[in-house]
Amino acid sequence: MLFLHNNFYKITVKANENIICNMMFKLKIHAKLYNPLIYLLIFFTVLPLLLNGQEKQKYHMKTVVIDAGHGGRDPGAPGDQRNEKDIVLSIALQLGEQIKKNFPDVNVIYTRKSDTLIPLFKRAEIANKNKADLFISIHVNANESSRVRGTETYVMGLHKSKSNLEVAKQENAAILYEEDYSKTYQGFDPNSAESYIIFSLMQNAYLEQSLDFASYIQKNFDQNTNLKNRGVKQAGFLVLYKTSMPRVLVEAGFISNPDEEKYLNSEKGQKQLASSIYEAFKEYKQKLESESVMLTNGEDTIATQDSVVFKVQVAAASDPIPLDSDYFKGYEEVQEHKISKQYKYTIGRATNYNRIQQLKEKIKKDFPGAFIVAFENSEPISLDKALSIINNH
């Protein structure tokens, strides 16, 4: 019975040591009554109730918005066989069908399902009003040189090369097909480099998640197609600028390259491209949900180790943001963390995961893309590792 005693002790401590101790105290069980029968009674009656009270509440991705670029009187990049608007619509619809088939609990919303013109700001509104967890804008590229080829995925940011700017100009030119575009976009000229200065003032709270998803897309393109991998890049796209969630713009090959145009128009090519983006979505979804586990024990929160601290990240930027900036909307306990070459900003701190979860929900009205990060002895660690440390103590 000593073996049972030792294992019972280990199990109950992991389940909730404090509840067991409090229960023993309240029952006022005298030390002389601690015999094997008592342990067996607790093991088979009380312990299951305690363990059943311990639940894992996971974050689940609920909504994804898929945006097929251009449409209607906006053809996008012209091709010899079909225009960009037709190719990307086919890819977008196939992607959505794969997500709905394999993840029926995910709400798939399209910005367009037919050959219609949807203003860029309306596409962002669709994503924001539906509180999307992810925004995927699908395009194909074009270049003056027919030799240029390959795929690239963009996240919202400031262009770091002329070629990135040219891609942004090309896609942002879609507003020229909209009525009163100058008024709608406050004088923004998609063909003027000066107009893109506004994007240098933007601080992207979703940059890290967007970069993760973009890298998964490029990896799957690399694995599943014969297209050249041109990598993950940043530029200022109006369709991404106003969306309040992780978002990417995919350039799925060059319609100006004869070989790639043939591939983009083929049933095989469109299926491979849609499947590659789907696989990236699946990988991103699984990673995000596995890192967003909230452990509870009934109404009692599970205690954490003092060395592990949780915070809510609200921004990431290439250049520092003053801590007293209006960007942080008057919140207290704003901290700056320089990690690699990025400045990351967090609000609040807690050694209890449930408390930081409550804080995140509270500030999401001001920072919709806020998410929880973890530190151990002031060094950043993954949520998986942080929760593992908690659960093992």
pLDDT above 50 for 49: no
Q: Mention every residue, 6+ apart, whose C-beta is less than 8 A from residue 206.
A: 156, 245, 246, 247, 369
pLDDT above 50 for 9: no
pLDDT tens digit string along 57-114?
566 889 999 999 999 999 999 999 999 999 999 999 999 999 999 999 999 999 999 9
CA-to-CA dists, residue 356 to 14, 239, 302, angstroms:
22, 32, 13
* Mean predicted confidence (pLDDT) in 169-193: 89
pLDDT above 90 for 331: no
User: Are the beta carbons of 258 and 146 closer than 8 angstroms?
Assistant: yes
Q: Domains in the chain and their CATH numbers?
A: 2-56 (no CATH), 63-289 (3.40.630.40), 293-391 (3.30.70.1070)
pLDDT above 50 for 301: no
- Please give the structure tokens belonging to residue 350: 């807690």
pTM of the model: 0.66
Name the residue among 206, 214, 240 with its Cα closest to residue 314: 206
At residue 159 the predicted structure's pLDDT band, cuts being 50, 70 and 90, is confident
**CA dist., res. 160 & res. 174, Å (int):** 22
User: Are the beta carbons of 87 and 75 closer than 8 angstroms?
Assistant: no
User: Are the beta carbons of 296 and 245 closer than 8 angstroms?
Assistant: no
pLDDT tens digit string along 31-48?
444 455 555 554 455 444
